[in-house]
Chain A
């Protein structure tokens, strides 16, 4: 319907029709990733709880809980890395580079950007071979194909790469604007 805009869409700056679809797709993807991540942590907590309850109340050791929870954790970590990139939560030391002239900042940022893409893409490509092997190799407890956890590598690092490009590219082009942004002052440790 012309003229009607979905709410929240106004936050995404580009309003041209060519960019609207990618923006909507990105928003849907992020929703999906968030939802999956929440399900994964909920699953982990319940599986471990089931393990404790099984051991103490039913005297029954559950082999599947530890293995599946570990797989869930691998997925959670790799998707979470992309979520953290979206919120700029990955720790870095930018105290020094911020004091340098803008063109130096742009150069450092650009070099870091290119090499970051190189590393993330290498992991994505390299992990495809692991996934292929993972269809043959079976997990120790449940005899699940190891492709189940291995697939988290290309998917998670692929998403990380996407968020890395989206978060870093604007800062490489306009380092002076990035410096004005609020700092992320929270770490897990």
Chain B
């Protein structure tokens, strides 16, 4: 146990890729403390990735990358501009609405952040917006991708927790809308007290809204297919992901035509390598969690926690703090894979619904995407804006505060995450 956990932390700090740090630490622990044959490592690695459900990940990643290469971000920005462009502080609101829309077709926060930043940052700079706050808001808008379906993190959570992906996806919808809504209110309140720049808005026009809808409409087919297919019991999540991929191919190649079939190998290879980074961590984490479990660590932690408190409220508070801190330093997928198998049985012991617990985990880790020092969305938004992470971090409080508020709500009001799955599935 000491070898596995200690070895992992040392390797992590030394800059070893997480996928290898997990494997090496597990191998160290197996070699030094057990007599298990070494072929067990290969077996666990295989067991970790041999899953039909996980196939949804490469499909969703490919369809998200295709949409972004096909020019969906600009179309969503236009639609969002028609929807909320007339409100004070319009560009903040447009970024948030665009982030919500992109989150519904892609599962990757960093890719969404890059797409929104590329379109919105020049415009925000031109209109003399506070560029650090702008980058912070864009980072938070991009991070919605891990809460709003389809979400790669949610798939990993569902597979790890042995829950239905459909239930997790539906459970994420309301929390995602709450985060987007609270950030919009927060930005609007901030902009009302702000300078003249924020009052430079375009008037509302139905014609513009209609034009925006027509242009962005085909892209909106993707969430319709995914959610409709899962809710209607037509597809499994893997099948929905596959259909979403074909719909995306049709929309980008036939309707939008900003990419050609010649671009496909490049885009698909990127999708393959990006999704492999997720799936291969699942395989080495399988070895790691196995060795941790055989050495009785989860039971130790459970006894320790139940010794401290028998209140699920206090337990959830401790979990939130733990996940927030871990999210600051670690990437979401590996955090889920290491922590969820340990925390979930304890949560169920306190009578907490696994779907709600999964949503709380996802929300915490999406906050981890925008908190320094290691927040991938914060990182992407800052670098596109040409600002240092420290500068943007100083303005992170507004979007971060909104997300924390929603996190508290979702933690202590289970209905928010459980209502939609219970009504629709």
Rounded to whole Å, the gap between the CB of B28 and the closest CB of chain A is: 8
Decide yes or no whether B315 CB sits under 8 A from chain A.
no
Q: Nearest A residue to B16 by beta-carbon distance?
A: A112
Which residues of chain B have C-beta atoms less than 8 A from A189's C-beta? Answer: 107-110, 146, 152-153, 156, 278, 331-333
Contacts A52-B235, A76-B58, A149-B50; A92 near B276 (Cβ below 8 A): no
**Is B277 within 8 A of A112, CB to CB?**
no
- B interface residues, how many (CB within 8 angstroms): 78
Nearest B residue to A88 via CB reads B17
Q: Chain B 99-137, CB within 8 Å of chain A: the 1/0 string? A: 000000001111100100000000000000000000000
Residue A74, interface by CB 8 Å? yes
Query: In B271-301, which residues have CB < 8 Å from any A CB?
Result: 271-280, 283
CA distance A70 to B54 in the complex (A): 9
B374 within 8 A of A: yes
- In the bound complex, do residue A74 and residue B46 qualify as a contact, i.e. CB atoms below 8 Å apart? yes
Q: Which of A44, A69, A186 has its CB near the most chain B CB atoms (within 10 A)?
A: A186
Query: Chain B: which residue is nearest A171 at the CB level?
Result: B15
B123 vs chain A, min Cβ distance (A) = 21
21 contacts between A and B (CB under 8 A): A34-B269, A38-B268, A41-B62, A73-B58, A76-B272, A81-B276, A81-B280, A83-B269, A89-B273, A91-B331, A97-B13, A97-B14, A115-B11, A116-B20, A122-B38, A123-B45, A125-B38, A164-B20, A186-B111, A189-B156, A189-B333
Is B213 positioned at the interface, with any CB of A under 8 Å from its CB? no
> Is there a chain A Cβ closer than 8 Å to B238's Cβ?
yes
Interface residue B42 (Cβ < 8 Å from any Cβ of A): yes
| A126 and B41 contact, CB distance less than 8 A | yes
Contact partners of B201 in chain A: CB under 8 A: none
Q: Do residues A126 and B51 form an inter-chain contact, with CB atoms below 8 A?
A: no
Give complex CA distance A67, B13 in Å.
39
Among B216-224, B242-250, B404-412, the one that faces the other chain is: B242-250
Contact yes or no, B383 A89, CB < 8 A? no
User: Given the complex, which residues of B lie within 8 Å of A90, measured CB to CB?
Assistant: 17-20, 277, 280
Q: Is the CB of A77 within 8 A of B108?
A: no
Q: A112 contacts B49, CB within 8 Å?
A: no
Q: Which of A51, A126, A160 contacts B239 (CB 8 A)?
A: A51
Instruction: Return chain A residues, CB-CB under 8 Å to B272.
Output: 37-38, 41, 76, 79-80, 83
* Also in contact, A45 and B246, with CB within 8 A (given A70-B55, A93-B374, A185-B110): yes
Cβ–Cβ contact B42 & A188, under 8 A: no
A52 to B58, alpha carbons, bound, how many Å?
18
Interface centre among B19, B41, B383 (most CB of A within 10 A): B19
**A84-B274, A119-B23, A129-B39 known; A93 and B12 CB under 8 Å?**
yes
Partner of B16, one of A34, A92, A129, A130: A92
Contacts known (A77-B276, A81-B276); A52 close to B239, Cβ less than 8 A: yes
A45 in contact with B27 (CB, 8 Å): no
Residues of B within 8 A of A (CB): 11-21, 23-24, 27-28, 38-43, 45-46, 49-52, 54-55, 57-59, 61-62, 107-111, 114, 146, 152-153, 156, 234-235, 238-239, 242-243, 245-246, 265, 268-269, 271-280, 283, 329-334, 373-374, 376, 379-380, 383
Closest to B51 in A: A70
Q: Complex: how many Å from CA A23 to CA B339?
A: 42
Contact at B38–A187, with CB atoms within 8 Å? no
Most buried by B among A70, A164, A188: A188
**A98, B15: Cα distance in complex, Å:** 9
A interface: dominant SS: helix
**A109 located at the interface, meaning its Cβ lies under 8 Å from any Cβ of chain B in the complex:** yes
Chain B residues with CB below 8 A from A188, complex form: 57, 61, 107-108, 152, 274-275, 277-278, 333
9 cross-chain pairs, A with B, having the tightest CB-CB distances, nearest first? A80-B276, A126-B42, A108-B14, A90-B17, A94-B15, A127-B42, A112-B16, A84-B273, A48-B242
Q: Do A126 and B376 have beta carbons less than 8 Å apart?
A: no
A45 close to B269 (CB less than 8 A): no
Q: A130 to B330, alpha carbons, bound, how many Å?
A: 33
In the docked arrangement, what's the CA distance between A153 and B46, Å? 7
Q: Does A96 contact B (CB under 8 A)?
A: yes
Selected from B15, B41, B274, the residue in CB contact (under 8 A) with A108 is: B15
Give which listed residue, A48, A52, A97, contacts B15 with CB less than 8 A: A97
Interface residues of A in 107-144 (CB under 8 A from B): 108-109, 111-112, 115-116, 118-120, 122-123, 125-127, 129-130
B13 close to A37 (CB less than 8 A): no
- How far apart are A85's CB and chain B's nearest CB, in angstroms? 8
